[in-house]
A and B are shown apart, each in its own frame.
Chain A
Amino acid sequence: MTEPSPLPDEEMQRLLQFLYVCPVGLISFSDDGTIERINPAAVNLLVAVADLRDHRNVFTMVSEAWPDLDDVVRRGGGRVGTLADNHRVRSLPGRPEQWLSLSAVCVAADANMLTISDVTSAVMAEQQLVASLSSERLAQERLAFLERSASRTAARLDEADRRHAFLLEVSDAVRDQRDPGQISQTFVTMLGWELGADRVGYARVGDEADHLIVEKVYTPPDRDPPVAGVRVDVSRATLDLVGAETVLAVEDIATDERLEGETRAQLRAFGGGSLLLAPRCADGRLARLLTVANEAPRAWTHHEVTLVEEVADRLWSTERQAAADRDNEARLASIIDTAADSIIVTDGRGVIRLANRATSTTFGYPVEELLGRSVTVLLGEELDTGRVEGGPADHGTTADSAVVRVSREVEGRRADGSTVPLELAVTEWLDSLGERWITGILRDVTLRKQQIEILARASKLEVAGQLAGGVAHDLNNLLTVIGGNLEMAEERVAELGTQTLLGRALDAVRRGVTFNNRLLSLVHDRPRNVQPLVLADRLDDVASMAQHLLGSEVSLRVVVAPDLWPVSVDPGELDSAMLNLARNGRDAIVGRGRLTIAARNVTLEAGSLPDPSAVAGQYVVLSVQDTGVGMTPDVARRATDPFFTTKAAGRGTGLGLASVAGFVHSCGGFLVIDSTPSHGTAVSLYLPRGGESAGSTEPPSGTPVSGGGRRILVVDDDELVRQTTADTVEVLGYQVVTAGDGAEAISLLQRDAGIELVLTDVVMPGVDGRELARWIETSRPEVRVVLCSGYTTVLDGDGDAHRRYLAKPYSRRQLADTLASLLGSTSGSSSGSSSPSG
Chain B
Amino acid sequence: MDCTFDSSDLLDQLESASFDQFDDVPFGLIVMDRSGVVTAYNRVESAQTGISPAKVLGRNFFESVGPCTNNYLVSQRYRDEPDLDETIDFIFTLRMDPTPVRLRMMAREGSERQYLAVVKRP
Chain A interface residues (CB < 8 Å from chain B): 16, 19-21, 35, 37-44, 47-48, 52-53, 55-56, 95-96
Q: CB < 8 Å: which of B93, B99, B100 contacts A39?
A: B93
Of chain A, the residue at the smallest CB distance from B90 is: A52
Of chain A, the residue at the smallest CB distance from B97 is: A37
Residue B54 lies at the interface, judged by CB distance under 8 Å to chain A: no
| B-chain residues with CB within 8 Å of residue A41 when the two chains form the complex | 67-68
Q: How far is the CA of A168 from the CA of B34 in the complex (A)?
A: 69
Of chain A, the residue at the smallest CB distance from B67 is: A40
- Shortest distance between the CB of B28 and any CB in chain A (Å): 17
Does the CB pair A38–B72 fall under 8 Å?
no
Residue B71 lies at the interface, judged by CB distance under 8 Å to chain A: yes
Of chain B, the residue at the smallest CB distance from A27 is: B98
19 residue pairs A–B, Cβ–Cβ below 8 Å: A20-B67, A21-B67, A37-B96, A37-B97, A38-B93, A39-B93, A39-B96, A40-B70, A40-B93, A42-B68, A43-B68, A43-B71, A47-B71, A52-B89, A52-B90, A53-B89, A55-B91, A55-B99, A95-B72
Q: How far is the CA of A48 from the CA of B71 in the complex (A)?
A: 9
Q: Do A55 and B96 contact each other (CB < 8 Å), given the known contacts A40-B67, A43-B71, A95-B72?
A: no
| A-chain residues with CB within 8 Å of residue B96 when the two chains form the complex | 16, 19-20, 37-39
Q: CB < 8 Å: which of A52, A56, A96 contacts B72?
A: A96
Find the residue from B73, B93, B100 having the highest chain A CB count within 10 A. B93
Does the CB pair B98–A44 fall under 8 Å?
no
Does the CB pair B93–A42 fall under 8 Å?
yes
Does the CB pair B67–A55 fall under 8 Å?
no
Q: Total number of A-B contacts with CB less than 8 angstroms?
A: 52
Q: Which 8 A-B pairs have the closest CB atoms?
A: A40-B68, A40-B67, A43-B68, A37-B96, A55-B98, A44-B71, A53-B89, A55-B100
Does the CB pair A52–B91 fall under 8 Å?
yes
Q: How far is the CA of A42 from the CA of B72 in the complex (A)?
A: 14
Query: Within B59-73, which residues are at the interface with A (CB < 8 Å)?
Result: 66-68, 70-73
Chain B interface residues (CB < 8 Å from chain A): 66-68, 70-73, 89-91, 93, 96-100
Does the CB pair B98–A35 fall under 8 Å?
yes
Q: Interface majority SS on A: helix, strand, loop or mixed?
A: mixed
| A-chain residues with CB within 8 Å of residue B73 when the two chains form the complex | 47, 52
Of chain A, the residue at the smallest CB distance from B99 is: A55
| B-chain residues with CB within 8 Å of residue A16 when the two chains form the complex | 96
Q: How far is the CA of A40 from the CA of B90 in the complex (A)?
A: 12
| B-chain residues with CB within 8 Å of residue A35 when the two chains form the complex | 98
| B-chain residues with CB within 8 Å of residue A39 when the two chains form the complex | 68, 93, 96
Of chain A, the residue at the smallest CB distance from B91 is: A55
Q: How far is the CA of A56 from the CA of B100 in the complex (A)?
A: 9
**Beyond A21-B67, A40-B70, A44-B71, 12 extra complex contacts between A and B, CB < 8 Å:** A19-B96, A37-B97, A38-B91, A38-B93, A43-B71, A44-B68, A52-B73, A53-B89, A53-B100, A55-B91, A55-B98, A95-B72
Of chain A, the residue at the smallest CB distance from B74 is: A47
Does the CB pair B70–A44 fall under 8 Å?
yes
Q: How far is the CA of A189 from the CA of B85 in the complex (A)?
A: 54
| B-chain residues with CB within 8 Å of residue A43 when the two chains form the complex | 68, 71, 90-91, 93
| A-chain residues with CB within 8 Å of residue B93 when the two chains form the complex | 38-40, 42-43
| A-chain residues with CB within 8 Å of residue B90 when the two chains form the complex | 43, 52
Q: How far is the CA of A20 from the CA of B66 in the complex (A)?
A: 11
| B-chain residues with CB within 8 Å of residue A40 when the two chains form the complex | 66-68, 70, 93
Q: How far is the CA of A41 from the CA of B70 in the complex (A)?
A: 9
| B-chain residues with CB within 8 Å of residue A20 when the two chains form the complex | 67, 96
- Shortest distance between the CB of A521 and any CB in chain B (Å): 68
Does the CB pair B67–A44 fall under 8 Å?
yes
Find the residue from A16, A53, A56 having the highest chain B CB count within 10 A. A53
| B-chain residues with CB within 8 Å of residue A21 when the two chains form the complex | 67
Q: How far is the CA of A21 from the CA of B63 in the complex (A)?
A: 10
Of chain B, the residue at the smallest CB distance from A42 is: B93
| A-chain residues with CB within 8 Å of residue B97 when the two chains form the complex | 37-38
Of chain B, the residue at the smallest CB distance from A44 is: B71
Q: How far is the CA of A37 from the CA of B92 in the complex (A)?
A: 11
Q: How far is the CA of A56 from the CA of B70 in the complex (A)?
A: 21
Q: How far is the CA of A19 from the CA of B96 in the complex (A)?
A: 9
- Shortest distance between the CB of B116 and any CB in chain A (Å): 15
| B-chain residues with CB within 8 Å of residue A42 when the two chains form the complex | 68, 93
Of chain B, the residue at the smallest CB distance from A35 is: B98
Q: How far is the CA of A39 from the CA of B73 in the complex (A)?
A: 17
- Shortest distance between the CB of A64 and any CB in chain B (Å): 16
- Shortest distance between the CB of B55 and any CB in chain A (Å): 14
Q: How far is the CA of A35 from the CA of B96 in the complex (A)?
A: 10
